[in-house]
Amino acid sequence: MQLLLAGIVVLPLVGALAALLPAPPGLRGKNPDQAVLRHGVTVTGAVLAAAIALAVGFDHARPARMQATTDLSWIPALDIRIHLGVDGISLPLVVLTALLTFLCALYSYFHLPAGPSPKAFVALLLTLEAGTLATFAVLDLMLFFLAFEMVLIPMYFLIARWGGARRQAAAWKFILYTLLGSVVMLLGLLLIGVKSGTFDMVALATDNGPKAQLSHTVQLLAVLAIGIGLAVKSPMWPLHSWLPDAHTAAPTVGSVLLAGVLLKMGTYGFVRIALPITPEGMHTFAPYLAALAAVGIIYGSLACLALVRKGAGGDLKRLIAYSSVGHMGFVLLGIATMTPTGVNGALFANIAHGLITGLLFFLVGALKDRTGSTDLDTLARSAGIRPAASGAAALLPAPSGAALYARAPRFGGLLAFGAVASLGIPGLAGFWGEMLAMFGAFRPAAGLSRPAFLTFMVMAGLGTLLTAAYLLLVVRRVCMGGTVDLAGAAVHGATHSAGTSGDDPAGGTGGASGTSGAAPNGTPAPSPALPDLPDLARYEYAAWSPLAALTVLAGLWPAALLGLTDPAVQQLLGGGK
């Protein structure tokens, strides 16, 4: 188990280096580009297999204990150690990261985004995976910071070199925001290490350990500094503005990994560092964190409603990015309650958001490839008016820009499933995290203002209603087709009918003129057929069905995840007891 976890962290780095080397003659095949993409699928598949083996070998009877640990001295003068381990909190995030990266590599094998060398793409993807896995596996504050920063460069280049319109500006905004936040976070981590005498996260999490040397003032300063860096990555309102631009410009796999795993690094830091190591400082700032989280829930939903409005020119990728601000608000609200119920809800919502939003970004990217746009007005525009079976006087909307139910029913059904899962319907994964986070806010930790948290809970509940509103509007416009001006259509139909119902000069009727929408024999003319829209391909089934299946499984069997996280959360909040 010890070697397995170390291999999970190191193997993607080795694979990234190997991707840049020339392929051996026997593995080049006819297409060198496909050979390096196969390499990416192979390495990420091996990492996923190792992560599953780690989960199977994990002692589920003691999920609060750190397992598969490695503890080696690295920089003795500063007591910085190569300390790895997983418990019930980090194990699901390790498996989620390995799964999403493998699905991204598999999808890219069949549909590589336009850009420079595939070798660089695969190397960056594997480096990104290594940094993310290390963030969830390391137990030393300095190693955590290094892993936290390791993901920035590969994500920057994925956006800047393989992204869409305005990719350079979005990439710079992403890296500047996160780097500035990380500099402040580093100051907080150094403050804890200097004042306590160690950077070991396990030792610092116990009440009778080095944490006892951290005064209330030190904890306040540390939480403030660390919290800013983590809040940028989470992302928390109002430090979220880099996210919509990054998602809109990023390639499909970049958006999937950014939403599915990179955002989780910030909220994981709150649970792993801020809650157990600086509880007094966290207790002071918890109401402010909850307030900002509640505002973020409402803000994200209102922004999505503005984007989905007809004529607003909203971008579907941008809408899902803003929805992430709202969903991650539930995660931060659960953490701010400082209760086992709320923190468990936050961890569950983390996993649910990774599965559901990862699926949605896959679908939206494929929709852009099929239609050439993610503009909602373009996708839902009316394609004109077609005659009804009763004749020209009764006119109906023609098939719309996307109208996925009619043109690609399986694709439309999967998109509707992702939207319904994202709005938190019972029976799917999105429900449990949001419900537990609000339940934690109903009765927060001792010493926190219950009236304030009840207000935040009501705001979060309102956010769920707004979320349902904009997601159902998305389904209506994209899957069912846009709406047309039925009043205008009726006027047009009445005028058209009046102009053709009388005798024409030739003694015929208007039905023979061909302008009424009816054929000379009186039967209605067929409506113009829109070009075929490809439905789900086999590789898309392979890349997306695991996310849909796990969304259903987590919704129907939440105990599988809560059974892992709850004992670890109880021990974390109990000061190691």
CA distance 301 to 322: 7
Tell me the per-residue pLDDT of 271-286, one tens digit each, with 9 for 90 and over.
999 999 999 999 999 9
Exposed e or buried b for every residue in 111-121, given b needs 16+ CB within 10 A? Answer: bbbebeebbbb
Cα(517)–Cα(496) distance, integer angstroms: 9
pLDDT in tens, 298-323: 999 999 999 888 877 788 889 999 99
363 neighbors 414 (Cβ within 8 angstroms)? yes
| pLDDT value at 458 more than 90 | yes
351 phi and psi, to 5 degrees?
-65, -45
Query: When comparing pLDDT for 386 and 12, which is higher?
Result: 12
- At 241, the pLDDT band (50, 70, 90 cuts) reads confident
At 185, is the pLDDT very low, low, confident or very high (cuts 50, 70, 90)? very high
Helix (H) or strand (E) holding 419: helix 409-422
Please give the Cα distance from 481 to 400 (Å, whole number).
5
Which residue bears the tokens 């307030």?
291
The end-to-end CA distance of the chain, in Å, is: 25
Mean pLDDT (whole number) for 402-406 = 73
Between residues 457 and 493, which one has the greater pLDDT?
457
Q: Residue 81: CA atoms inside 13 Å, Cβ hemisphere, count? A: 18
Q: What is the mean pLDDT of the chain?
A: 84
| DSSP labels, 11-60 | HHHHHHHHHHSPPPGGG--S-HHHHHHHHHHHHHHHHHHHHHHHHHHS-T
In the block, tokens 């990234």 appear at 16
Residues paired with residue 464 on neighbouring β-strands, in sequence order: none
Q: At 473, list the tokens.
A: 């509007």
Q: What does the block give as tokens for 379? A: 């996708």
pLDDT value, residue 501: 40
Please report which confidence band the pLDDT of residue 25 belongs to, taking 50, 70 and 90 as the band edges: low
Half-sphere exposure of 286 (CA within 13 A, CB side): 29
Instruction: Work out the burial of residue 332: count CB atoms within 10 Å of its CB; fewer than 13 is exposed, 13-18 middle, 19 or more buried.
Output: buried
For residues 315 and 374, the answer to whether their CB atoms sit within 8 Å is yes
Here the tokens at position 504 are 């024409």
The pair phi, psi for residue 339, each rounded to 5°, is -115, 155
Strand-pair partners of 388: 391
Taking residues 227-233, report their average pLDDT: 91
Enumerate the H helices of 234-339 as residue ranges. Answer: 242-249, 252-257, 263-269, 275-277, 279-308, 316-336
pLDDT tens for residues 414-434?
999 999 999 888 889 989 999
**Pair of tokens at residue 571:** 């021990």
Question: How many angstroms separate the CA atoms of 191 and 200, rounded?
Answer: 13
Looking at the DSSP assignment, which residues form a beta bridge with residue 67? 86
**What percent of the chain lies above the pLDDT cut of 90?**
51
User: Averaged over 171-195, what is the pLDDT?
Assistant: 91
Dist CA 353 CA 418 (whole Å): 11
Q: Residue 426 contacts by C-beta under 8 Å, 6 or more apart in sequence?
A: 555
The answer on pLDDT for 148 being more than 60 is yes
Q: Choose among 198, 193, 70, 185: nearest CA to 138.
A: 70
Whether pLDDT at 105 is above 80: yes
Q: Judge residue 45's burial from the number of C-beta atoms within 10 Å of its C-beta, 0-12 exposed, 13-18 middle, 19 or more buried.
A: middle
Average pLDDT rounded to a whole number, residues 436-451: 91
Query: 34-43, 192-201, 234-243, 488-497: lowest mean pLDDT where?
Result: 488-497
Contacts of 168 (CB under 8 A, 6+ apart): 160
Taking the CB of residue 54, how many other CB atoms lie within 10 A of it?
A: 22
Taking only the tens place, the pLDDT of each residue in 324-368 is 999 999 999 999 999 999 999 999 999 999 999 999 999 999 988
Could you tell me where the DSSP H helices lie in 475-537? 486-501
Local structure of residue 140 (DSSP, 8 states): B
Instruction: State how far the Cα of 167 lies from the Cα of 413, in Å rounded to an integer.
Output: 31
Q: How high is the pLDDT of residue 28?
A: 59
What does DSSP say about strands 391-397 and 385-388: parallel, antiparallel, or unpaired? antiparallel
**Lowest-pLDDT range of 45-54, 371-380, 391-400:** 391-400
pLDDT grade for 517, boundaries at 50, 70 and 90: very low
User: Which tokens is 165 given?
Assistant: 């319109």
